[in-house]
Amino acid sequence: MKLHAVTFVLSVTIGFALTLLVRWGARKLGVVDTPDDFRKLQGRPIPRMGGVAVFVAFFASLLSGTYLCKSSDFQEFLRGAEFLTLLGGATAVLLVGLWDDIWGMRARWKFAALSLVAGAMYVAGYRIGAVSSPFGGAVNMGQWAVPLTLFWFLGCMNAINLIDGMDGLAGGVAVFAAAVVFVTSILLGNAMAALLSVAFAGAVLGFLLLNFPPASIFLGDSGSYLLGFLLACIGLRGSQKSSMVVALAIPVIALGLPVIDTALAILRRWASALPLGASDRHHIHHKLLDLGLSHRKAVLVMYMGCLVLGGFALLLTAADDVQAAGLLGALGVCTFLAVRAIGRSEISLAKNRGIQYLQQRKRAAECRTAGHRALERMRHAQKAAAFWQIFCEAAEQLRLDRANMTIRRPLTSPDEIPHSFTWTGNGDSGYEDADSALWSANFPLVNGREWFGVLRVTKAMNGLPLDPSVPEMLELLRTGLTENLARVGTQPTPVALPAKIADLSQWSATAS
């Protein structure tokens, strides 16, 4: 324990001193977080390279503490491939975050870079090869070990990154998780995981002295991704001498708040049809602020939640298989109730999108049925008026509001109806409302380079997106009208087709 105590003191001291230095350097370099009155609510620009201080403090305290205490076993670990892999992976993650902090990086490239790092860690041996069950036995993951390991690393990194929206929050959550891993590692006899977690906790604590509200320095992406990465590695290292399901459950439970926050963020953005990388002000800590809590009180409430979850995780280490299963079941029920309370709006959004999806599937099936049925009926009709009548019945099913078909040359049959046909829907569509958004399109009745006329349609949107099956079926009906007009003897007019769709109206007029 002397080594652990020395390493902890060194990591806190080095972390604090380096945070002061990095804060000064970031200001000089202009790497600061500027207020935007949306998510960044600080009153002034704040340096955001705190990850550099945490990185150096973590590895420097491990090296210096081990050699000061002259621990041969730990010195051997620090010279081994496992530690060098940890150092290399952490360096890569830090550089990716620094690039984003300084120059900015698109979300897809960050995700790709972090995925490559996670893949490299799997190849180097940091992997989830088997998962034990609290009911006994173990399941070899086989080919699922790769996606499960990638998900573990990416999940931890993004969970810390997403919750890093308030002074002291991400760092405090990481310290609570590291403290839980330290205690459980000591109880389970995993001295190396305990040393890694205590060095990590001390480095983050040194940074937190200047990051707790009101913060004078931020983690930045370099810090938040690094914290998640190191927690992922320490969690995997701690699982090597214990039941994998318990060891991996401990950091997951300790990180319960960011995990729930990340899940709700993904659900919210999916339900709102937004990219997963989009930012918003609907995270758990934002909701606490909306309730009227100050930044400091909101952070303390989140800390209390982490403390409760950490205590729950510690209970798993003293439980047998049956008790662990019961505890996990109870936690699942509590999590479900908490998500229902915290994520009420996200659940409502997801429910509405699910209903819309089912309705769209039903409408799409109806539209396709109407389109193909109309096409089949046109093949047995003999006059343009009959074709138009069939089209109008399909237009009702497609919920169009107005349609017009103009045939530019008279038909060969002398008793045929005039060359222009118009239809207006009878449904309560809001077409006459001047404020309604309208979708309209012109479909040239063209067969090769022979032009028969033009079909114009209009549909009131009423704030809803256009079902893709509507233009799909209209294109099918356009083809059917063209082919059947040619079949019954409509005389085409050879014309030069317009170069752009925007020229269709002018082309229609000149072609007549």
What are the residue boundaries of the structural domains of the chain, listed by start?
A: 2-342, 381-511
pLDDT band at 484 (very low <50, low <70, confident <90, very high): confident
pLDDT at position 501, please? 41
The tokens describing 440, both together, are 């309209």
pLDDT at 339 over 70: yes
Q: 446: which 2 tokens?
A: 């063209």
Which has the higher per-residue pLDDT, 115 or 269?
A: 115
Whether 219 contacts 48, CB under 8 Å: yes
pLDDT-derived band at 493, boundaries 50, 70, 90:
very low
pLDDT > 70: what percent of the chain? 84
CA pair distance 430, 394, nearest whole angstrom = 19
Which pTM value belongs to this model?
Answer: 0.73
| pLDDT exceeds 70 at position 276 | yes
How far is residue 42's CA from residue 33's CA, in Å, rounded to a whole number? 9
Poorest-pLDDT segment among 151-165, 314-328, 340-354, 442-456: 314-328
User: Which class for 414: exposed (0-12), middle (13-18), buried (19 or more C-beta within 10 A)?
Assistant: exposed
* pLDDT category of residue 223 using cuts at 50, 70 and 90: very high
* 204 in Cβ contact with 175 (< 8 Å): yes
Please answer whether residues 283 and 261 qualify as being in contact, where contact means their C-beta atoms are separated by less than 8 angstroms: yes
The C-alpha atoms of residue 503 and residue 505 are separated, in whole angstroms, by 6
pLDDT over 90 at 8, yes or no: yes
Predicted local confidence at residue 397, as pLDDT:
87
- SS3 call for 46: strand
Instruction: Count CA atoms within 13 Å of residue 316 on its CB side.
Output: 32
pLDDT at 68 over 90: no
pLDDT at 117: 96
On the question of pLDDT at 485 being above 60, the answer is yes
Position 41 scores a pLDDT of 56
At residue 205, does pLDDT exceed 90?
yes
According to CATH, the topology of domain 381-511 is Beta-Lactamase (3.30.450)
- The rounded mean pLDDT for the chain is 82
Q: Which residue has the tokens 């906790």?
A: 201
Distance from first CA to last CA of the chain, Å, rounded? Answer: 94
Give me the pLDDT at residue 497, please.
46
Where does the pLDDT of residue 225 fall: very low under 50, low under 70, confident under 90, or very high at 90 and above? Answer: very high
Count of beta carbons in the 10 Å neighbourhood of residue 88:
14
Evaluated on CA atoms 395, 400, 402, 408, the torsion sign reads negative
pLDDT of 65 higher than 60: yes
* Per-residue model confidence (pLDDT) at position 360: 82
pLDDT tens-place string over residues 353-408: 888 888 888 888 888 888 899 989 998 888 888 888 999 999 988 889 899 988 86
Confidence band (pLDDT; 50, 70, 90) for 237? confident
Q: Which of 202-216, 297-311, 484-498 has the lowest mean pLDDT?
A: 484-498
Determine which of 26-35, 151-160, 484-493 has the lowest per-residue pLDDT on average.
484-493
Per-residue model confidence (pLDDT) at position 44: 76
* pLDDT reported for residue 416: 46
Whether the per-residue pLDDT at 171 is higher than 70: the answer is: yes
Please tell me the least confidently modeled range out of 131-145, 294-308, 348-362: 131-145
The whole-number average pLDDT for the span 255-278 is: 82
